Amino acid sequence: MKRTDLHEYQNFCVEFLKTHPEAMLILEMGLGKSCISLTAILDLMFDSFDVGKVLVIAPLRVAKTVWPEERDTWEHAHFLKMSVMVGSAKQREAALRTPADIYVVNRENVKWLVDYLEKRGLPWPFDMVVIDELSSFKNHQSQRWKALRKVRPQIKRMVGLTGTPASNGLLDLWAETFLIDKGVRLGRFIGRYREAYFKAAGMNPYTGVVFNYVPLPGAEEAITQITLKSIPAGSWQAFTPTTASPGPTPRSARNSTA
100 assigned to some structural domain: yes
What are the pLDDT digits (tens) for 133-168? 999 999 999 999 999 999 999 999 999 999 888 778
27 assigned to some structural domain: yes
Percent of the chain at pLDDT exceeding 90: 64
What are the pLDDT digits (tens) for 22-49? 999 888 888 899 999 999 999 999 999 9
- The domain in which residue 151 lies consists of 3-183+229-247
Q: Which residue has the higher pLDDT, 62 or 241?
A: 62
199 assigned to some structural domain: no
SS3 193: helix
203 assigned to some structural domain: no
Rounded CA gap, 148 and 145, in Å?
5
**CATH code: domain of residue 64:** 3.40.50.10810
pTM of the model: 0.84
Rounded CA gap, 162 and 218, in Å?
24
